[in-house]
């Protein structure tokens, strides 16, 4: 049966039109951002653990129980010839741990202990000691003044005015006096395991008395 043109046109358009009850078109959602890759290198782990440093420090204290026999429970050494670790830059400590573990730094006792540590434990121990407060030593006042003058001339450029070093250079402030004397003498005499041209240049003009004075000054600093 034929329909009048207006009715036929209406029916045709009605077939093409969406029903009144049809659901609205779905909105496109942006894809979820990809998860950041888990840290893998010691340096990446160090940066990640700094975000929740309290937990890392607590874990580091637990993991460092065997270090306490020599370096003290809080990183302040029990022995004058053993260095304080308290207050050191965590990146510097982590690098020294790596060197002992790889054999780049030679110490049979240290190498044996460090090899049993996981990468996470090495980072946690570094953070634990870096957050500990160093306990300065005592020294003769006149010797301290002489040492301060010598330090200002030869050492401040690298170790800083406060002698606290940085990520690559050791903190010397508050360090054990006997350990400092032995280490500086070895650099001067080129008898130590660690070879550093800048340290050899800086220590070359020092007499034994100069070294004792610099050590006296540094051990009293906070």
pLDDT tens-digit profile of 211-220? 999 999 999 9
pLDDT in tens, 115-172: 999 999 999 999 999 999 999 999 999 999 999 999 999 999 999 999 999 999 999 9
DSSP class of 193? S
**What number of residues does the chain have?**
222
At 1 the pLDDT is 47
Taking only the tens place, the pLDDT of each residue in 30-80 is 666 666 688 989 999 999 999 999 999 999 999 999 999 999 999 999 999
Predicted structure pTM score = 0.82
**Residue 20: both structure tokens together:** 């009144």
pLDDT at 28: 66
Residue 41 structure tokens:
């290198």
Tokens of 178: 């006997």
Cβ neighbourhood burial of 21 (10 Å; 0-12, 13-18, 19+): exposed
Torsion of CA 102, 105, 109, 113, to 10 degrees: -40
Compute the distance between CA of residue 139 and CA of residue 184 in angstroms, rounded to an integer: 17
**Pick from 160, 140, 147: which is nearest to 218 by CA?**
147
Torsion region of 187: left, alpha or beta (phi above 0 gives left; psi -120 to 50 gives alpha): alpha
Q: How far apart are CA 136 and CA 174, in angstroms?
A: 4
């Amino acid at each position: 049966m034929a329909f009048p043109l207006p009715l036929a046109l209406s029916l045709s358009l009605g077939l093409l039109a969406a029903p009144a009850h049809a659901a609205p078109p779905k909105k496109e959602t942006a894809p979820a951002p990809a998860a950041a890759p888990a840290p893998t290198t010691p340096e990446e782990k160090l940066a990640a653990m700094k975000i929740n440093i309290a937990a890392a420090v607590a874990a580091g204290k637990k993991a460092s129980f065997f270090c306490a026999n020599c370096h003290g429970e809080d990183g302040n050494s029990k022995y004058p010839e053993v260095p304080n670790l308290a207050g050191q830059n965590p990146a510097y400590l982590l690098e020294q741990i790596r060197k002992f573990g790889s054999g780049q730094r030679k110490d049979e006792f240290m190498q044996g202990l460090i090899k049993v540590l996981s990468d996470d434990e090495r980072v946690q121990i570094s953070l634990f000691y870096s957050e500990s407060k160093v306990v300065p030593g005592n020294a003769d006042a006149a010797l301290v003044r002489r040492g301060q003058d010598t330090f200002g001339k030869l050492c401040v450029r690298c170790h800083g005015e406060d002698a606290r070093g940085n990520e690559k250079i050791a903190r010397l402030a508050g360090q054990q006096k006997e350990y400092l004397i032995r280490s500086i003498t070895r650099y001067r005499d080129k008898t130590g395991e660690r070879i550093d041209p800048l340290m050899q240049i800086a220590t070359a003009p020092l007499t034994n008395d100069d070294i004792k004075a610099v050590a006296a000054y540094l051990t009293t600093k906070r």
